[in-house]
Chains A and B, each alone.
Chain A
């Protein structure tokens, strides 16, 4: 199984901190699965110009192709102006229609205020649904006070991330078995 973890912002450190732990958690719980962390801050990405994702070059091409090859994706995002950051929205815009079909997507948000809890529900899930992702319905919401100097200090958050990883892997395996069912079509 190929898992891609995305840190969806080029600003700040909390989402990256949460995604670093997420990657650790995957590696520890599922050492056989291949995991790739894409921190958007590490890449020079262009805006979507409408071309097929295979035709982007450099960093943009690497990121689109890596995501398209994934079986499961864990998206970490901060909340900016009561929404997802433009950098993350650009990733979706770079990908084709139905890009997330046959992929399972889990979500984490880091936010400065608990009032932002429903933003993933109301803004990220509709995008993922439109792109045909199988969504892990429960997500991890992490607040400012859960961090201290680039570390997560709330053990409850770590536990919830571990469970998100499990839920994502179990759902991915389940959908893979569903596709094995398609073998019955015999073509």
Chain B
């Protein structure tokens, strides 16, 4: 766990992530400028740090309604504006980047932040990056596997000899600068499919599991698959952290929370994925066994603790800004996290 910068004695870590979406506020139909959105993301990270939140991450999507395509640049600004919160991508789409350049960015980010940078590498659920950056969707899987493997090699070795299909060979190549402590934690992003969890386990890398909604037990399968694959490949599952990431929102009552956030989720998904979130599924999401952490502070706490008991995970990462949620609501949620959610989670999950 140590090499992944996780101390199990501290209990379940709590993080925030943003996809960097840039969507209209559904009630008014108005959209803030890209400039304002980026500044609000940076400020959100600062507020998260002040609230005692452990982790903050920013995603990369190359298409309409997104604004953090250059996510490592946004993360650099966050690194400069904060002091102790861990910062990461979520995810870096390594398939359509050069792993050397991406690693240079994140090693630099680690130096700017004085050893707080991490990287989550994923295959993309929105695929605008392929055409824009000149890759074929046909190579979706191969691009990721090859480049992710190179990325891990660069992280582990200062001098790399490498040859592959999608990038010019590296001969005694030194990838600089090196991160503060020689390497950074690199996680594999996993969506719903357990086959991707199996690959994370087989490669011996920590797993970042994204979930939208549905019974928590469904996601337990991916976690079991991951740990099983770790073991089969000769790794000790107790040494590898798992983080989960999904919707989060609190208000005074669960009803109020659902009322406030549903239009954001529904309209946002319509614009970015082409299909909204069915109302009845969303209503069923209030069940304590559902993985969607939307509700009153008490219900959300109970859900997170239930998930912790089920998953045995080390970090939960909340997404609460999707779909044009206004900054005052985000501030209010951070306040609730600081005063109610974090104390409860730490009380029940912190050791000694």
A binding-site residues for B, Cβ under 8 Å: 49-55, 68, 96, 98-99, 101-102, 179, 182, 185-187
A49 to B138, CA, bound (A): 8
How long is the Cα–Cα vector from A99 to B137 in the complex, in angstroms? 22
A102–B278 CB distance below 8 A: yes
Question: In this complex, what residue of B is CB-closest to A52?
Answer: B274
B residues lining the A interface (CB < 8 Å): 126-128, 137-138, 140, 255, 258-260, 262, 273-275, 278-280, 282-283
Residue in B127, B274, B278 whose CB lies within 8 Å of A96: B274
Q: How many residue-residue contacts, CB under 8 A, span A and B?
A: 43
Q: Are A179 and B274 in contact (CB under 8 A)?
A: no
Name the distance in Å between B131's Cβ and chain A's nearest Cβ. 8
**Contact A99 to B283, CB < 8 A, known contacts A55-B128, A187-B262:** no
A185 touches B128 (CB 8 A): no
Q: Which residues of A contact B137 (CB under 8 A)?
A: 49-51
Contact of B255 among A54, A99, A102, A187 (CB under 8 A): A187
| Set of chain A residues within 8 Å of B259, measured between Cβ atoms | 186-187
CB distance from A28 to the nearest CB of B (A): 33
**13 CB < 8 A contacts A-B:** A49-B138, A50-B137, A50-B140, A51-B137, A52-B273, A68-B274, A96-B275, A98-B275, A101-B275, A102-B278, A182-B280, A187-B258, A187-B279
> Taking CB as reference atom, which chain B residue is nearest A99?
B275
Shortest beta-carbon distance, A87 to chain B, in Å? 22
A187 to B266, CA, bound (A): 11
Q: Is the CB of A53 within 8 A of B262?
A: no
Contacts A51-B127, A51-B137, A52-B127; A185 near B283 (Cβ below 8 A): yes
Given contacts A96-B273, A182-B279, 4 further A-B contacts (CB under 8 A): A49-B137, A52-B126, A53-B274, A187-B279
Could you tell me the distance in whole angstroms from the C-beta of B254 to the nearest C-beta in chain A? 10
Q: Least Cβ distance of B307 to chain A in Å?
A: 22
- The distance in angstroms between the C-alpha atoms of A185 and B282, with both chains bound, is 10
Question: A102 — which chain B residues lie within 8 A by C-beta?
Answer: 278
Measured in the bound complex, the distance between the Cα atoms of B275 and A99 in whole Å is 8
Task: Find the B residue at minimum CB distance from A68.
Answer: B274
Most buried by A among B126, B138, B275, B280: B275
Residues from chain B with Cβ under 8 Å of A186 in the complex: 255, 259
Query: Contacts A185-B258, A187-B255: A179 and B275 contacting too (C-beta < 8 A)?
Result: no
Cα of A107 to Cα of B326 in the assembled complex, Å: 45
Contact of B282 among A51, A53, A54, A187 (CB under 8 A): A187
Smallest CB gap from A185: residue in B: B283
Return chain A residues, CB-CB under 8 Å to B260: 187
